[in-house]
Amino acid sequence: MLELKRLSVDDGLDIYTMLQEIPAEENGLINKANGLTFDEYKEWLIVKQRDSEQEGIVDGWKVPSTTFWLYADGIPVGFGSVRHFLTEALRKAGGNIGYGIAPAFRGKGYGKELLRLLLNEAKGMGIDKVLVTILLDNIASQAVAIANGGVVTERTDERVFIWIDTKK
């Protein structure tokens, strides 16, 4: 059974352990919790909770973003974030949604399901179209986005830009 849970400041060791397994930076995804001590992770959760509650742009670039955990049969297997809106910089790199699956759980369809669930969350936030920017050589993530109704609208030397209609 798959379940998407919103980040909570009360999240514990299971999430912490998963985040240590996902590289700090891989395929364009940045996992700032990787390498933190457990106490630092608890502080990080507080910051991430605040990120989801903020309004407008903070520090000239930071937009509100809500983080979710994907659980499979009660075990956290991945995470994703939904940015509530885009700036021009995020239209070039970042997009609305970023997601990652822990290495031990890759290749099992969890990425596709995680993105599907994140798209539902984005729709609930009033986001009609979501942009996912994916590094050119990340073929697996491109396939996940396309399988979720994504349409490639642009390619650069670095990225593929895929828009997904959340109303479908």
Instruction: For the chain, give every domain's residue range.
Output: 2-126
Query: What is the pTM (predicted TM-score) of this model?
Result: 0.95
Tens digit of each residue's pLDDT (9 = 90 or more) over 26-78 = 988 999 999 999 999 999 999 999 999 999 998 878 899 999 999 999 999 99
Half-sphere exposure for 47 (CA within 13 Å, toward CB): 10
- 90 three-class SS: helix
**Angle between helices 38-53 and 13-21 in degrees, nearest 10:** 90
Environment class of 99 (CB within 10 Å of its CB; exposed 0-12, middle 13-18, buried 19+): buried
In percent, how much of the chain has pLDDT > 90?
93
- The pLDDT of residue 135 is above 80: yes
CATH superfamily of 2-126: Gcn5-related N-acetyltransferase (GNAT) (3.40.630.30)
Q: For residue range 104-133, what is the model confidence (pLDDT) as tens digits?
A: 999 999 999 999 999 999 999 999 999 999
The pLDDT of residue 114 is 98
DSSP-derived secondary structure for 6-52? E--TT--HHHHHHHHHS-SEETTEE-TTTT--HHHHHHHHHHHHHHH
